[in-house]
Amino acid sequence: MEEIKKMIKEIGIDRQITLEEIPDIDLYIDQVIQLFDKTYSSFQRNEDDKVLTKTMINNYAKAKIFFPIKNKKYSKEHIILISLIYQLKSGLTLNDIKATLQELNHRILQGTIDLEAFYQSYLNTMEKNVQFFTGEVEERMNAANEEIEKFPNKNGDYLQKLLYITSFISMSNFYRRLAEEIVDELIDAEETGDSDKKK
């Protein structure tokens, strides 16, 4: 378990861009990329992997996942939205992310949401998720270890690690499918005019 705890610490799942780290002044695209690189570089699997690129940001803009920028600069609201996109993109398609954030974009433009308060709630939730995740990993490992003990020929630790991998991926898939179901509810509500912005 100590080896896994070390891995969890090394991948930096507890790192998030905090409100204090987002400048109150608008940023150019290179400055946005630098902010994300500084925060999430340890989260990348390989050194050559890019946290965020100009192409990625431009693709988000073209897909209208966040509201248009002004004077080639990104506001604090844009940074918050891009931070949410960064977290969502590993589990959802761009179309699903667009559907998920459409109402949030609308409320930002209408001035009917305290975005910083919402983002702080998101950060608080992520902090709790990190604590939960560590405990959940230990439970999944213990369950796999119990199964390995029943196996006649353990072949070193390969089969144990294989069970870890399959268990972690299956849990990831369960959460992703549930998230997709909730996205579909958001889409249905928007199509039927039943979202709470219209109530």
Residue 12 has pLDDT above 80, yes or no: no
Residue 186 has pLDDT above 60, yes or no: yes
Looking at residue 155, its pLDDT comes to 64
The pLDDT of 88-116, averaged and rounded, is 96
* Res. 106 pLDDT band, cuts 50 70 90: very high
DSSP string, the chain: -HHHHHHHHHHTTT----GGGS-SS-B-HHHHHHHHHHHHGGG-SSTT--S--HHHHHHHHHTTSSPPPBTTBB-HHHHHHHHHHHHHTTTS-HHHHHHHHHHHHHHHHHT-S-HHHHHHHHHHHHHHHHHHHHHHHHHHHHHHHHHHHH-S--TTTHHHHHHHHHHHHHHHHHHHHHHHHHHHHHHHHHHTT-SGGG-
Between residues 48 and 137, the one the model is more confident about: 137
Residue 79 has pLDDT above 70, yes or no: yes
